Amino acid sequence: MALAFDEYGRPFIILKEQDQKTRLRGIEAQKANISAGKAVARILRTSLGPKGMDKILQSPDGDVTITNDGATILEQMDVDNQIAKLMVELSRSQDYEIGDGTTGVVVMAGALLEQAERLLERGIHPIRVAEGYEMASRIAVEHLEHISQKFDFGTTNIEPLVQTCMTTLSSKIVNRCKRHLAEISVKAVLSVADLERKDVNLDMIKVEGKVGGKLEDTELIYGITVDKDMSHPQMPKQIEDAKIAILTCPFEPPKPKTKHKVDIDTVEKFQTLRLQEQKYFDDMVQKCKDVGATLVICQWGFDDEANHLLMHRNLPAVRWVGGVELELIAIATGGRIVPRFQELTPEKLGKAGLVREKSFGTTKDKMLYIEHCANSRAVTIFIRGGNKMMIEETKRSIHDALCVARNLIRNNSIVYGGGSAEISCSIAVEAGADKYPGVEQYAIRAFADALDSVPMALAENSGLQPIETLSAVKSQQIKENYPHYGIDCNDVGTNDMRQQDVFETLIGKQQQILLATQVVKMILKIDDVISPSDY
Amino acid sequence: MAIEKIFKDDATEEKGERARMASFVGAIAITDLVKTTLGPKGMDKILQSTGRGHGVTVTNDGATILKSLHIDNPAAKVLIDISKVQDDEVGDGTTSVVVLAGELLREAEKLVAAKIHPMTIISGYRMAAECARSALLQRVVDNKEDAEKFKSDLMKIAMTTLSSKILSQDKEHFAQLAVDAVMRLKGSTNLEAIQIIKKPGGSLKDSFLDEGFILDKKIGLGQPKRIENAKILVANTAMDTDKVKIYGARVRVDSMSKVAEIEGAEKEKMREKVQKIIAHGINCFVNRQLIYNFPEELFADAGILAIEHADFDGIERLALVTGGDIASTFDNPESVKLGHCKVIEEIMIGEDKLIHFSGVEMGQACTIVLRGASHHMLDEAERSLHDALCVLSQTVNDTRVLLGGGWPEMIMSKEVDELARKTPGKKSHAIEAFSRALVAIPTIIADNAGLDSADLVAQLRAAHHKEGCNAGIDVISGSVGDMAELGISESFKVKQAVLLSATEAAEMILRVDEIITCAPRQREDRM
């Protein structure tokens, strides 16, 4: 710990409890940060690409997650180091913004840090490095725009969208039936998309999973599934042309918010109260019946009596439906959520063509399907799979695919995958470097080298010779001036990513480069780390 | 400068070879653990719980064994999970699925040691699994049309399933029980309708299927013990103190006489309720909740049989079999559907009195009464019977049937071997390994039976070289036998689920190259 001393040799205490804190400064701090960042990137490096491996993560409670998704790995890793936390944030923001490429962005940032370390050793000031990176990232992003292609798709021609989703899914464990899942994802996104505004609300797509069956049994349901069953075992299991009353009030006697007490002191009062109570139940059910509802979905529970009355009046009901699901049902069926029985009107009822209960396997698991809704804009993807971890991983993969499809609808530009975009950018940045006078030139060149690390990792994970493969592809790109040569991960026999139909979204790639650069800049600017030491 | 740690203090990280090794070792250990329970001569395990009382379970059921283990190894957890899912989904084959997954990993370990990339192994396994499945599909027998034959198929399947369990001595008896019970369900997979009652005493042979419904309850005091042409009201209502449900209501009185009045009113209320119930014209009343002495007395006076505190399942089943509604209010008797049955009587099984409903309207539900020497025995018998029932109910829906006794494995292995010969590249090694893993199952069955597995499996393989052969391992005589003649069958659905989930699980574990274990959550000491 560096201490300042005054003229009498007594130490100045600047920080509170200074002697209990560790402090790293200057180049030491930068190097420590860089090595932490690199360590995180190294963990993810092997998960990149179609031949990337998975990680097992065991949570503090002993639950096991097996995943290939960068954001999930980092989130569950429970890191302690500050810089590592920054990397986790980085991956998360890529996840929020784009939904895919969460591994790539971290690998990229790791590579940039590695290059920066070398520059720092040569005595280049971190800020200059950061500025160089900034310039280089601008060149790269522009170049991406330049090599990107637009493609057309419509509600009938979904092939390009499916292809792009397949690229995303091919790195996951579900790649066995990627075609099937990609089609499901695209159809789901298209059915909720607002093509004119180019907007997709992913909240309208519900992803549900249930263990059992095969992955191939995964299906897209134009409607909603609810993991609930009818409140009374003898209610009808199938309702056609249902009119649904969506309630957020319990089938119970009202509980006024103001504190009150009802005192019973005579027999008459006791009896009136009893009659009153019976009337309450009767009224509630009658009101639902009067407006013409044929199904009641309620957020709260029912009293036994109410339950029987409902059953008695032939009014099927579902209780304890969660708030989010309730909203989705309301959207899908075009109904309104009704908070009070008095406000029930026929217009507020939702409509669905078919509501049915379906049971699975040998246990008494039941689910409620609400299909053929008035507004088919809410859909459910229902995943089946061999075990719990498989379902969870499939959910994450589907989420990635959905995000990619959404991004394409927002902006239909694509770049080619397989590392081709990175290699092409690297060439462009390298060429651009010479135009800049000053020290930044070195940083820009370093950036170009860092870009190479993504295809390098791809080649490495696919069991190819990384340096040989990369240099061959690079020279091929320059020689033929064709930016779509990439790494042939699946051993198909051609380097042309266009023929292999490996696409990625333009905004995803741009975002990766920008986010990685930003985080690296932030890390480079730190020159003092003060942390409480272990005790 | 040292690389500082990124993780929290107690977290561990294992990479590459070490991680792979850890998961292989974990998975194989689990496999070896349950391996010895496989097949008709498989042994049982005793499980002692760490909880209070150190309860003991003796079982042969893979899912039950694995469920009770406390495992720390993540790969082992994956295997336990697939076994659990197998149990939920098809009910049987819980041991086979774990053994197959474990054997696949054991083979994969050798391949990885021979420097074949895990991804190559995975793609080989996938091709092999697909090929194995289609081989099975070609050989399935479907006797859907022929009811007689189908019934005998079911019988065979039930016997095959039961033969590896404790019930194997009386397997014919139990197979008959299970088939009868499932046939009554008429295609529904709702096993809830089959009630299993365990009563210690007697021998396993004394177990029987009752077409009616048996409720493990006693008849109230002073009420008729036998009713013919019963009209039953099934209810879920409070018959103790029917409290006022309006929020905030309370009784405040200023004198003792008032208390008495209120009490009188309460009694009156109950009496009215009972009157209303009686007005349904019933002679039997079954309630899910308690019935207090006062209403019980009223019922007795009216000559009505009142049964209290039937549990949820009991009520639902009773409603199902008698065809009545479950009622909670009693104001309009005309619209409540009553349940009917011919005779209600109290019967004795062993020393316990039970209530027996016979001649019920809907024949879907039934009750199986299990008898046996001890609780452990009964528990295990119940699990075995449950397995058989699950398999049968699934087979009723998917009527495709295969032969058993290692026959499907040999068929698959033969096809997969052929595929391996045709496939160029490193994948063929993986495909070959898949076939070896498949053969491991008959090998283990033979080993467990104390037979010369190497010899038997070789004979079996030779027999399978001919087209359309039905050879499998006949454990009883210790030789290769014709499975069709011996009547050993398995359900296609179970075999397919075993194949697919085992491959999926093996794939999942193979893909892993890093294990990160977070620091265990700190438990607060409650000392």
For A60-93, what is each residue's pLDDT tens digit? Answer: 877 888 888 888 888 888 787 888 888 888 888 9
Q: Decide: helix, strand or coil at residue B275.
A: helix
Element of type H or E holding B268? helix B256-278
Block residue for tokens 């359309």: B468
Written as six digits, the tokens of A81 are: 């180091």
Q: Decide: helix, strand or coil at residue A150.
A: strand
B421-436 residues labelled b (16+ CB within 10 A) or e (exposed): eebeebbbbbbbbbbb
Written as six digits, the tokens of A363 are: 């246990």
Q: Which range (A231-235, A470-474, B425-429) has the least confidence? A: A231-235
Q: Residues 455..514 of A with a Cβ closer than 8 Å to B: which?
A: 463
Q: Which of A46, A103, A167, A333 is catalytic?
A: A103
Chain B residues with beta carbon closer than 8 angstroms to that of A264? 244, 249-252, 262
Strands (E), A389-535: 413-416, 503-505, 528-532
- Flag whether residue A35 sits within 8 Å of chain B, measured between CB atoms: yes
pLDDT of chain B along its 527 residues, tens only?
Answer: 345 566 766 777 888 788 888 888 888 998 988 888 887 888 888 888 777 667 788 888 888 888 888 888 888 888 888 888 888 878 788 888 999 999 999 999 999 888 888 888 988 999 999 999 999 888 888 877 777 888 888 888 888 888 877 777 788 888 888 888 888 777 666 677 777 888 888 888 888 887 777 777 777 666 777 878 878 888 777 776 656 666 666 777 777 777 787 778 778 878 888 888 888 778 888 887 777 777 777 777 877 877 776 666 677 777 777 777 777 777 766 667 777 788 888 877 777 778 888 777 666 667 888 888 888 888 888 888 888 888 888 888 888 888 888 888 888 999 999 999 998 888 899 999 999 999 998 899 888 888 888 888 898 888 888 877 888 888 888 888 888 888 888 888 888 888 988 998 888 888 888 888 887 776 655 54
Q: Which of the residues A27, A51, A53 would you substitute to probe the B interface, choosing the one with the greatest number of B C-beta atoms within 10 Å? A: A53
Q: Which of A400, A469, A505, A517 is catalytic?
A: A400
Q: Which residue has the higher pLDDT, A228 or A479?
A: A479
Task: Give the length of chain A.
Answer: 535
* DSSP secondary structure letter of residue B353: E
Neighbours of A275 (CB within 10 A): 9
Contact indicator for B232, B340 with CB cutoff of 8 Å: yes
pLDDT at B1: 38
**Tell me, what's the ipTM?**
0.77
pLDDT at B2: 43
Block residue for tokens 């210790």: B478
Distance from CA of A254 to the nearest CA of B (A): 7
Residue A91 CA to residue A107 CA, distance in Å, equals 10
Beta carbons of B85 and A76 less than 8 Å apart: no
pLDDT at B244: 63
What is the reported pTM? 0.82
Residue A501 CA to residue A179 CA, distance in Å, equals 13
Mean pLDDT of chain A: 84
For A367-426, what is each residue's pLDDT tens digit? Answer: 888 888 777 678 889 988 777 888 888 998 898 889 888 888 888 888 888 889 999 999
Residue B365 CA to residue B211 CA, distance in Å, equals 8
Q: Decide: helix, strand or coil at residue A469.
A: helix
Judge whether residue A201 has pLDDT over 90: no
Residue A172 CA to residue B154 CA, distance in Å, equals 40
Element of type H or E holding B269? helix B256-278
Q: Which of the residues B1, B4, B70, B117 would you substitute to probe the A interface, choosing the one with the greatest number of A C-beta atoms within 10 Å? A: B4
First and final CA of chain B: distance in angstroms?
43
- Flag whether residue B72 sits within 8 Å of chain A, measured between CB atoms: yes
Is A517 part of the annotated catalytic residue set? no
Burial class of residue B339 in the structure, from the number of CB atoms within 10 Å of its CB (0-12 exposed, 13-18 middle, 19+ buried): buried
B106 CB contacts (<8 Å, ≥6 apart)? B24, B28, B31, B437, B440
Chain B residues with beta carbon closer than 8 angstroms to that of A391? none
pLDDT at B40: 80
Q: How far is CA B454 from CA B104, B186, B412, in A?
A: 19, 44, 19
Q: Where are the alpha helices (DSSP H) in B398-488?
A: 407-422, 427-448, 453-464, 483-486
Judge whether residue A250 has pLDDT over 70: yes
Q: How many CA atoms, within 13 angstroms, populate the side-chain half-sphere of residue A482?
A: 11
pLDDT at B527: 46
Neighbours of A9 (CB within 10 A): 6
Q: Which residues of B are catalytic?
A: 61, 94-95, 387
- The whole-number average pLDDT for the span A167-175 is 82
* DSSP secondary structure letter of residue A348: G
Beta carbons of A58 and B518 less than 8 Å apart: yes
